[in-house]
Structures are given as structure tokens and as C-alpha cells.
Amino acid sequence: MRGNAAIHDNSDVTERDDLASMETILLSYADIAASGPKQTPEEAAAPQPPQLESTASASTSSLVDVDTPSVRTVPSDYAEQDIQTETQAARRDREEEQLRAEADLAKKKASNKARKADSFLTKWFGEMNDGASTALVISNLVGVVGLSGFLGYKAWDLHARDRLSWQSVGLGLGIMGAVGAVEGVFGRYLYKGKKSQS
């Protein structure tokens, strides 16, 4: 056991020596610099920046003379104005002109498409023989009368149950109006087609 105690005692001594040497190693740069010779105030001061000597006199040509008419003032609401410069006004005019040109082009394309559809339908109804056109007219008449009868029956049924409302009446009239508009368009094309065929 004594041998172990001696080894243990030696390790304590070694650890203390290591700690002592570490304390000397842990000194900061400031501690080391402070232990050396002191600097004079001239040595401690920062170096002076180089000085330039100006041999030319100060020019006043770049200064603005406020008495000359070239200096312009702007109204106090200048920043709030929609268009502040002539360049902005010209750009806005160009943009508006471009938008108008695009709108005109779109109108022309739409009218060309409508004319093509109109001529196609007129030609199609015009090429129908008399029997087919008569059958079309009769089927349209039967469809309108049948739809009117169905809507009338539904309205009478709602009235009998006290559930007829203005909303129901408006819906029925809207359906009849839409069917009438479609019939009117196709009837017009049928009439134009038959007229151009004669």
C-alpha cells in the first residue's frame, strides 16, 4: 500500500507543477506588454495622416447664382402631381395610344369572328331543304309550347300548395326569355338563309 501512496503523492506534485507552468502560459498579451519597457507618448500616438497643400484658389464657378433666371422654382405640390415632367407626359400619351390601338384591334378581331359565325349560320340554314327547315320550325314550336306548358303546370302546382313566390315566377320568366332569345336568333338566321336562297 505504501508503494501506491508514494505514487499518488508523486502524481500530486506533478499536477501542481503542471498547474504552475500553465499559469505562466495563461498570461495575456496585455500582461506581457505591461511587464516590458514603457512607451513614450510620441511612440504610443497614432501616426499623423499626410497633409496636402493646395496651391489653387477655390473656384466659385460651380456655385449656383440664385439671382440668374436659370434657377427655377417649383410649386409646393410638385411631388403630389400626377405628371411631373414632360417625359412622363409623353410616356403616358404613348401608353394610352398603344392601349387604344390594342382595343381597336381586339374589336376588329371580334367583329370578324362574329361576321364569320353569322355567314356560316346563314349559309347553313340557307342550304337546308324545305322539308328540313319546316321540320325545324315545327320542332321549335313544339319545344316552346311544351316548355311553356311544363312551366305553367309547375307554377299551378306551387300555387296550389301556397309555395308560389316571386322568385319562382322570376325564374320561370327568365327561362322563357332565354328560350325566346335563342329562338329569335335561330329564326332570324333561318329567315336570312331562306331569303338568300330564293
**Per-residue pLDDT tens over the stretch 116-163:** 887 877 777 777 777 777 777 888 888 889 999 999 999 999 999 999
- pLDDT higher at 41 or 25: 41
**Per-residue pLDDT tens over the stretch 91-107:** 889 999 999 999 999 99
Residue 1: pLDDT above 50? no
Which distant-in-sequence residues (6+ apart) come within 8 Å of 140 by Cβ?
Answer: 183, 186, 187
Q: Are 154 and 140 in contact (CB under 8 A)?
A: no
Q: How far apart are CA 152 and CA 176, in angstroms?
A: 11
Mean pLDDT of 37-66: 74
- Looking at this protein, which amino acid is placed at residue 140? N
- pLDDT higher at 102 or 21: 102
Q: What is the pTM of this model?
A: 0.37
Q: Are 113 and 142 in contact (CB under 8 A)?
A: no
